[in-house]
Amino acid sequence: MSILKRRILSFKYAFQGIRWAFATQPNLWIHLAAAIAVIVLGFYVDITKTEWIILAGCICSVFTVEFINTALEWIVDSVYKEKHPLAGKIKDVAAGAVLIVAIGAAIIGVIIFYPYF
């Protein structure tokens, strides 16, 4: 298989993963709604280029951690077929990581948008 074909397939698989995650994870839709609201608000108040960069980083960070959390949950569910205390801890810690980055992004959003109001 050629290098180009392998690269094209890697993008196909990545987009397939994104579709699967959105099809199964309601929290991704909540993050997407928040991201859209932030983007609309950013255009409305005409934030600076630097503020756009910071918000884009926050949005990407939240989605990245949520996708990693989803992958970890799927791995844990495939390894531990029955309830197991360690499985719960792994999932809780991963969910905690999402919560931390989402709270951080929200704080940054407030810091950026507060002066406009």
pLDDT in tens, 30-52: 999 999 999 999 999 999 999 99
Is 82 designated active site? Answer: no
Residues 19 and 28: their CA atoms lie apart, in Å, by: 11
| Cα 16 from Cα 14, distance rounded (Å) | 5
Fold assignment, 26-116: Helix Hairpins (1.10.287)
What CA–CA distance (Å, rounded) separates 114 from 117? 6
Catalytic residue of the set 51, 66, 73, 82: 66
Contacts of 91 (CB under 8 A, 6+ apart): 72, 73, 76
pTM, full prediction: 0.90
Residues of the chain with pLDDT under 70: none
Q: What is the pLDDT of residue 66?
A: 97
Q: For all residues of the chain together, what is the average pLDDT?
A: 96
